[in-house]
Amino acid sequence: MSERTGAVRTGLAARGVRSAWVLPASLALLAVLLVLPAVIPPFFTANILGRAIVFGIIAMSMTFLATYGGFVSLAQMMVAGIAGYTVAVLVPGAVPSIVGGVPYAVAIPLGLLAATAMGLLVGAIAVRTQGIYLLMITLALAVGVHLFIQTNIAWFNGYEGIRNVVGPEILGLPFRNTYVFYYTALVVAAVLYAMVLYVVRTPFGLALQGIRDNVRRVNALGYHAALHRIAAFGIAGFIAGWGGLLATFYNIGISPGTIGLGATVNILVMAVIGGLGHPIGAFIGALIFVVFDTFAADLYDRDRFNTLIGAIFLAIVLVSPDGVLGIARRLGRLLQRRPAAQPAEAPR
């Protein structure tokens, strides 16, 4: 057993993720994010950082599957939307009220449960597909659910969606408060991030990485690769569900546009420009995306600012196929090579 995990871990190290750095760097980042709202205007706190964290959570669910399982799923935004819609359908005060009257304390776990179940379902449907076929089947599921929700009036109120989902009160403060929203999103993101880092070290996570590297060998070793895959989609669904809940409260409601093709592609863009390789890439990508999405219209012709956004994303991916994380990793290697006395660390 230990030999096997050792072998996979070496594989992980060879991918360039040095675990010794990860914990202190993550804690330092968390500390910065905790104090940052004190020095930046509230707009940046809620609508740049907060929004980036929410999108980052959804993108991380995709990064988790892609990095550790090798499954690129385009269904994650849709899965997030399932959680959002579940809560919107249930909670009191929503317009129109479809079920209504279920308190947030019950509706939120139900939303997460629904997203996890949808994640498992997507995983089960896509279990036999790889690569481009997996991409296609998850995309088809995402678009299918989107169109279903858009045309279903009785449960999802069609194109207009469900409005006035104000979110729960936290410690007696309304969720609409900038700081309540921001710190809730930050804590949720930090816990989920830690969860991903933990999960990939468990035997389950290592088996998942084994599936990524060589399915047949993992099967031969006696693991049920298909079940592992489906479970991984379930975990990703749970993560995406949190993102969907926060996005719904942030937008004071949810409409099909939130989970449409555009949104699905946005999540992919975030994950790719941030870098598939480590879950933090999702948040970096989301931050870059949100900054440009918000300010591109100020920087460039208002009729054509989407061109600027596209050009920047193209540039990032051209310069570094593994996203911003790849740039950082390469810079780090360059800096390490300078002091020639130090021996090379990891064999590649």
Contact region with another protein (CB under 8 A), list: 18-26, 35-43, 53-61, 69-77: 35-43
Instruction: Please count the other Cβ atoms lying within 10 Å of the Cβ belonging to residue 61.
Output: 35
Near another protein by CB under 8 A: residue from 25, 153, 299, 319:
153
In angstroms, rounded to a whole number, what is the distance separating the alpha carbons of residues 326 and 340?
Answer: 22
Near another protein by CB under 8 A: residue from 6, 21, 42, 101:
42
In angstroms, rounded to a whole number, what is the distance separating the alpha carbons of residues 270 and 281?
Answer: 8
- 147 touching another protein, by CB under 8 A: yes
In angstroms, rounded to a whole number, what is the distance separating the alpha carbons of residues 254 and 150?
Answer: 11
**Structure tokens given for 328:** 């950082």
Near another protein by CB under 8 A: residue from 5, 129, 294, 320:
294
Minimum distance of another protein from residue 277's CB (angstroms): 28
In angstroms, rounded to a whole number, what is the distance separating the alpha carbons of residues 35 and 63?
Answer: 27
Cβ atoms of 52 and 286 within 8 Å: the answer is yes
Minimum distance of another protein from residue 258's CB (angstroms): 5
Partners of residue 173 on adjacent β-strands: 170
Closest CA to 30 of 189, 184, 175: 189
Quick one: how far is CA 59 from the chain centroid?
2
Cβ atoms of 77 and 119 within 8 Å: the answer is no
- 299 touching another protein, by CB under 8 A: no
Cβ atoms of 75 and 297 within 8 Å: the answer is no
Name 347's Cβ contacts closer than 8 Å, sequence gap at least 6. Answer: 14
Cβ proximity to another protein: between 68 and 313 the closer is 313
Residue type, 324: V
Contact region with another protein (CB under 8 A), list: 12-20, 34-42, 191-199, 206-214: 34-42
- 266 touching another protein, by CB under 8 A: no
In angstroms, rounded to a whole number, what is the distance separating the alpha carbons of residues 272 and 163?
Answer: 31
Instruction: Please count the other Cβ atoms lying within 10 Å of the Cβ belonging to residue 162.
Output: 23
Minimum distance of another protein from residue 190's CB (angstroms): 24
Site for another protein, residues 72 to 111, rule: CB under 8 A:
95
Site for another protein, residues 170 to 209, rule: CB under 8 A:
176
Cβ proximity to another protein: between 5 and 251 the closer is 251
Minimum distance of another protein from residue 312's CB (angstroms): 17
- 159 touching another protein, by CB under 8 A: yes
Kindly state the number of chain residues that form the binding site for another protein, as judged by CB under 8 A.
Answer: 35
Q: Is 173 helix (H, G, I), strand (E, B) or coil?
A: strand
Contact region with another protein (CB under 8 A), list: 104-112, 147-155, 202-210, 269-277: 147-155
Question: What region, left, alpha or beta, does residue 224 occupy, with left being phi > 0 and alpha being psi -120 to 50 degrees?
Answer: beta
Cβ proximity to another protein: between 50 and 281 the closer is 50
Near another protein by CB under 8 A: residue from 46, 121, 245, 267:
46
- 69 touching another protein, by CB under 8 A: no
Near another protein by CB under 8 A: residue from 11, 16, 92, 257:
257
Is residue 282 classed exposed, middle or buried when 0-12, 13-18 and 19+ CB atoms within 10 A define those classes?
buried
Minimum distance of another protein from residue 330's CB (angstroms): 22
- 51 touching another protein, by CB under 8 A: yes
- 158 touching another protein, by CB under 8 A: yes
Cβ proximity to another protein: between 294 and 320 the closer is 294
Is residue 29 classed exposed, middle or buried when 0-12, 13-18 and 19+ CB atoms within 10 A define those classes?
middle
- By the criterion CB under 8 A, which residues form the site for another protein? 39, 41-44, 46-47, 51, 95, 147, 150-151, 153, 158-161, 163-164, 176, 251-255, 257-258, 260, 262, 294, 297, 302-303, 305-306
